[in-house]
Structure 1
């Protein structure tokens, strides 16, 4: 198959690209859209390789199997059609790429390069096409892309084979809440092996836009960073047009020459009507007003080029005098811990629609934020958080052993996660560590202290626009927020702990509620905002639900449960110290029955009653 010879104009290409702020939530990369792409999810051939013989036996060329799997659901999950809960450290997948797949991906004379995208494969992936190696990737929560142009030029069909390796006993692999025991125990859950986010094809021009990022540039502009796939030839130009989602108003345009040989472009795009700040309130993004700005970016070289659609939110976040700031003003963060785990599909969302519904449920409960816990969430969830208005904590999945290889692996994967998600206005805080997982002796180990400080500072170097929590919960060093985990079940006791400034001194000078020090490594109180980022966790199982689950405390019935939640929230609202809270947790998750919703996302009591208890408002 050779590319078709049509040459539609760049303006026609731009007209084909959907408006990024109003997409339907199916596109796997919501802030860099092209008109054509081909989803490869669905039924694939599947085979486990417990003896590790696949390479030697020629499986990259194809393998015999009578099993099928539904991608992108992990083989441990019922939705995959496999539902193998045991240890299977190596698994193989295959499917055919047809000529129609390539056409649907946009393969033609103007777009002669074919890219194969994987949203996430846990933990290590190797890929072949027709037995020829296409590439590999390590890191279970971040995307990767392979240029497979030379492997599909012959037309097809082509056999795509993927080998995924995920050692359940390797504690240096960043894994988050995935259990290393065969059965889920305590606060850890079933594993997610192999492909668990969308696989898709896309055709692009010879020189194309690989990545875009948007960051605040003062009050009158936004900074655009563009990374190219390939080297810009002489005469290449970059054109950017911004328009306001709500009104369609032209907000700014920029047209610049790209230096020959450039691979990266960095420009400030001015925002119309923002010179003196009078119109800021009409443009800024917040949970109450999730305004988005659409962007069209064209990379052109004569008659050919690349056109993509993107979007951004104009907002700032920061801290000052013990307050968390959103757009320069104190903002009371009311958050919920979200494991992002579904009983039928584990870490993979059961559908794109389920991601939208997750954001809607969180907002319906009265929350303004969520902490995605120990997971780099599907980008389509972040799209709905951007569009519907929800603050998000971005958190790294932990490894559980401190070793040089663990440092290398987590640092690389975390850098990829920050790079992927840096442009989402919903993300307002980065969390590289949680509860000293992977740095268990950070209280007195200089090497672990150096690692914690370094990863926090590296995060700031990659993104200076957001606060960084060095180690959520306790044992913090150079942190922008002082975050505490406290599962006290009595509202009166909680109210006393966080009453006022004197309570701040008690928390920092003594052992924290966790029994650990709040500050370590010589760190001192710098006046950071204090947040209660895990609390509640009250176990309750409605009639007919499982009887063997647990919570940090347990309610007798629905009235007792709701009264306990109300009492805890009254305590936090009475505090003169707390700048925000995060309730544990949104849903029941496997053996944990401390969710506000069941594992199937059903409220345990009427959602209006929960909202009143959480917000204190009718």
Structure 2
């Protein structure tokens, strides 16, 4: 069967079930899914998560029948595959036992290591033991005459594989993937059997292991033994593609691709197609096996009788006007590779992707080495990321969990993470590629060398570790997110340092090379990598600090044990930093300590930007992103449920948002005269009052202090009180903040209202938020600031300025996300849309309705209802005048300020009079499903009784859907969905099934088949399931019985969130007050759904959900807070916490 073309960068999910066969003898269900031809095997045996020390919220989504269903290798993706994740038999024997066991101890859930809670076992594997796995499976009939490949994402450490009792081979290495061709070991009839044995010395030997330990403590953590990544089978022909190597070349707008294949000995054809936003832009063919001349074939085939040969071919592809990959626009081009024989038959088909990006070393004007991404100076605020999980150890519970860490880094404004002495599954790098996060990739560490002598400990250790590291570079080579290889860390197993640098340079000249993180340096590579302190640039090596900070706070309900530790922590008595390691202390997470931690992070990245200019420093990596076991210096708790910092100020500091955007409301003392009234004696009365008599106080210029540079007025006592009055010509239109440098404790009052209070001291000026009440008190005319600063020891300093930050025209969505606007401060940009809603009509009631936003890369696309107003005036409903809808248009923006009209997707004036969807359209939505774009909308026709039986306003609309390969259309084969109703929406679940969300005026969900839309055949499958019932009330929300509209289904944190619009009436049930958006939640797509009691999200109907570039969830809706006839386009950020509560940042 010829496979359908689709791209999802590894999101190749199960689409429609073709075969469902239960094999009782082995207790297995097989599902063959046709579009991707994925087979997913899962068992029905009992399993439960072990009661671990700490469990993440994603663990609830893990089940034996549906564990890591995603295709594991997004950059070399096939359609024919069988997922072997799930329950396997296991037993542990003495290491000297070499025969396959006849009995097993129980079940283990693959792909979780045996030490993990999610494995269902949670036992250690000691060096003198062997872990055995066993399972049965069936080879599908469709795979007859195919070769079958058995793939392991990773297994730690020495793995031996048997199929049907036949020994296939052994693999050593805990991080690289490996494959066996099991074709010749298969039985003629099912079932088949796999047995895998694993030995793991962990830290009792020299092997590469990262921070795994049999005795976890301090910076050493729980070991990971056995299978810890996906296991899967693939069906291929005798001739098949083996791998590809992708080399983007930004300077000449091209990409160089090497294709390798194992083929029968004859020349064959390889076709490559490059797609941009699903549109083919480059097509090229080449011969593979050119070297197979007649003399070669005579020797290889006729004489030697060889059956297969490894061959390679190269492609040079020109990309016109390439869209370069970067952290703010991580655009990916899709690839389709096809292998054909000389008869034109397709033998193999593989999908991949690449990003056009270049990382280079250069020198700045001062002769210092700097890093340049796509020719632009790169400054790197980052964090150390160790990739551990409390319930899965080395393996994240789900793909959604894996993605979360990258989204968290993006939310913090980080440009990069340092993946520390661990290599992740390929899907982690896929998410880094897709979401835009740079990666400094450590090689896993071991004890294979002596760092004092730079010699290996043994020949065996040197050969094995070199082989593993070379393999890892080759397997991760194509990921655009990786920009630097870190070969060694702090001398752990370090040997032959400069030889490794040469090997890595030969393997990959396209990336930076870091010979040793921290120490010991031998002078090689491109990076001078420090641990702690400043990192000045050298002439030929950039300066980074790859581990810094180490501030920690304890979260007793969200930590690994009752013995957390950290390097440095908060002292609640003084508000200052103390040595947590030396004093064996760690402060609890409180509002005060969270502010302290946030400030530390802000200052860390602020220092980076300052020292980038001063000493050419390139980057700093905070240690670390997430707590790991007892090491509690993470920005988030180990279970990822608790943010120990406020990400928004950190984002601003990491991205240097303040630079050049400051409006000074009260002068900056460094460049202007800032005079204050002050006293060092306790003032009497209400000294913070605007009208307080301070005529007897002294007058001095800020800053005030002693023992620090920049002091203009000496201050040596324990306390100082300051006052100043200033005049504003107008009330600040942007958010006011303080620019403050205090040593030590400080209180600041604006217009007699507490604006800011903090214990401890800063080491420089910093921007801080002020209270909302204080900000609101600023008015045109005279205002006042009063300050109290106290000092206990050491130097002392106080300086305060009032500023307003002016947002630049960058991505407004991300700016708002960082600003944490409260729920009642809706952001509307309707006025920026350059169009008249209804073709020349000037009626003020013509408003945008039912908005839907979909993002592709860095561009946001908007469709919406365009019709006059919510009313029943026949004048406007008559199709003879301009009151009819002009159609469906699509607009785009990259910043939510500047909008561009793209095209009409449906235009009424161009449709024939008998078109069933002419004249009036509403509720348009665009959904990307199975790699294609589907436009769904509601329409009716005032002239056709079969489509509008009532013939008047208010009659039921009909759902229509069309398809396109591009988000901008054209959308073809538009057809009526028989059985659907107005405001119908679409949703693709993680298993590939597609559902229609239908308001019939309760809300139903029903599976829908879109596979034959090109034949104008769209079918609803099975029976509808009513999931939300309208509430018949006398008044209030959902006042109209059986009248719910505008549904939107979204999967968030493993749950299904159904948002819908409900009518709102007053107490007399007479006046219609518009719509409210409400919510219901379920654990599965078909429910049961539970309405979120008392939740009225906002005044406005038909909300849709989209994700911003930084990964945040956003509502897009029509805000009716000014009345139903005065709606505006609004967007509002939100997230769902661990208790399934919708949180609007900045609100209560």
TM-score calculated relative to the size of structure 1: 0.84
Among 537, 544, 569, the residue aligned to 1:531? 544
Q: Deviations over 1:530-553 (max 9, x none)?
A: 111111111111354555222221
Q: CA deviation at 1:33?
A: 0.9
SS in 2 for 1:433: strand
Question: How far off is 1:127 after superposition?
Answer: 0.6
Matched, 1:434 2:489: yes
Aligned CA distance change for structure 1 residues 260 and 21 (closer, same or farther; 3 Å): same
CA distance, structure 2, for counterparts of residue 329 and residue 265 of structure 1: 35
Q: Does 1:406 align with 2:454?
A: no
Matching residue of 1:259: 290
Name the SS of the counterpart of 1:570 in structure 2: helix
Deviation at 1:19, TM superposition (A): 4.1
1:179-220 C-alpha deviation (Å, 9 max, x unpaired): 1xx331221100000110011011101010111110124523
Task: Name the structure 1 match of 2:421.
Answer: 374
Cα deviation, 1:259-300, whole Å, max 9, x if unaligned, reads: 255623242332242xxxxx24xx111111111111111111
Matched, 1:320 2:362: yes
- Shift of residue 52, structure 1, vs aligned partner: 2.0
- Of the structure 1 ranges 352-361 and 132-141, higher mean CA displacement relative to structure 2 is found in 352-361
Corresponding residue pairs, total: 543
State how 1:106-185 maps to structure 2 within 5 Å.
107-109=143-145, 112-179=146-213, 182-185=214-217
Superposition pairs of residues 464-483 of structure 1, within 5 angstroms: 464-476=509-521, 477-483=523-529
**Residue 269 (structure 1) aligns with:** 316
1:248 is matched with which residue? 279
In 2: Cα distance, 1:314 partner to 1:258 partner? 29
Which of 136, 140, 156 in structure 2 is aligned with 1:103?
Answer: 140
Aligned to 1:77: 116
Deviation at 1:314, TM superposition (A): 1.0
**1:407 & 1:235 partners in 2: Cα distance?**
39
Structure 1 residue corresponding to 2:607, chosen from 558, 571, 587: 571
SS in 1 for 2:396: coil
**2:75 counterpart (25, 31, 35):** 31
Q: Deviations over 1:567-594 (max 9, x none)?
A: 2222222112211111110100011000
Q: Which has the higher helix share?
A: 1
Q: Does the 8 Å contact 1:320/1:528 carry over to 2?
A: no
Whether 2:478 is the aligned partner of 1:423: answer yes
The structural deviation recorded for 1:46 is 0.7
CA distance in 2, matches of 1:240, 1:123: 37
Q: Is the 8 A contact 2:156 2:174 kept in 1?
A: yes
CA contact (8 A) 2:236 2:348 kept: yes
- Structure 1 residues 475 and 234, CA, compared in 2 at 3 Å: closer, same or farther? same
Partner of 1:442: none
- 1:97–1:156 CA contact under 8 A, matched in 2: no
Match of 2:621 among 572, 575, 582: 582
| Whole-angstrom CA distance in 1 between matches of 2:173 and 2:373 | 32
Q: CA deviation at 1:18?
A: 4.4
How far apart, CA to CA, are the structure 2 residues paired with 1:207 and 1:43? 32
* SS of 2:315 mapped into structure 1: strand
Residues 1:225 and 2:238 are matched in the alignment: no
| Residues 135 and 86 (structure 1), Cα distance of their counterparts in 2 relative to 1, 3 Å cut | closer
Change (3 A) 1:89 1:346: farther
CA distance in 1, matches of 2:608, 2:548: 10
Q: Match for residue 201 of structure 1?
A: 233
**Separation in 2 of the partners of 1:67 and 1:352?**
26
1:40 is matched with 84
Matched, 1:290 2:336: no
Stretch moving more, 361-370 or 79-88: 79-88
| 3-state secondary structure, aligned to 1:80 | coil
SS in structure 2 opposite 1:409? helix
- For 2:656 and 2:378, how far apart are their aligned partners in 1? 17
Q: TM-score, normalised by structure 2?
A: 0.46
The equivalent residue for 1:336 is: 383
- Evaluate the alpha carbon distance shift between residue 610 and residue 87 of structure 1 in structure 2; reply closer, same or farther with a 3 A threshold: farther
Taking only aligned residues, the RMSD between alpha carbons, in angstroms, comes to: 2.1
**Separation (CA, whole Å) in 1 of partners of 2:435 and 2:12:** 13
Question: Unpaired runs of 5+ in structure 2?
Answer: 14-68, 293-308, 364-368, 450-456, 572-592, 658-818, 820-1148
Q: Does 1:189 align with 2:235?
A: no
Q: Indicate the structure with greater strand content.
A: 2
Q: Which has the higher contact order (CA 8 A, sep 6+)?
A: 1
CA contact (8 A) 1:456 1:478 kept: yes
Aligned-partner SS, 1:468: strand
Correspondences of 1:507-518 after superposition (within 5 Å): none
Structure 1 residues 368 and 23: CA distance shift in structure 2, 3 A: farther
**Structure 2 counterpart of 1:306:** 348
Structure of higher CA gyration radius: 2
Deviations 1:94-114 (A, max 9, x none): 333432xx228x6234xx100
Q: CA deviation at 1:118?
A: 0.5
On the 8 A contact 2:594/2:646 being kept in 1, the answer is no
Partner in structure 2 of residue 20 of structure 1: 9
Are 1:48 and 1:88, in contact at CA under 8 Å, matched by a contact in 2? no
Structure 1 residue 89 displacement after superposition:
4.7
Q: Secondary structure at the match of 1:408?
A: helix
Name the SS for the 2:266 alignment partner.
coil
Could you say what secondary structure the match of 2:202 adopts? coil
Query: C-alpha distance in 1, partners of 2:647/2:539?
Result: 39
1:437-459 Cα shifts (integer Å, max 9, x gaps): 112xxxxxxxx3xx111111111
| Cα contact 1:73–1:196 (8 A) shared by 2 | yes
Q: 1:608 to 1:542 in 2, by over 3 A?
A: farther
Q: Which of 423, 431, 436 is matched with 1:384 structurally?
A: 431
- Structure 1 residues 526, 609: CA separation in 2 closer, same or farther (over 3 Å shift)? closer
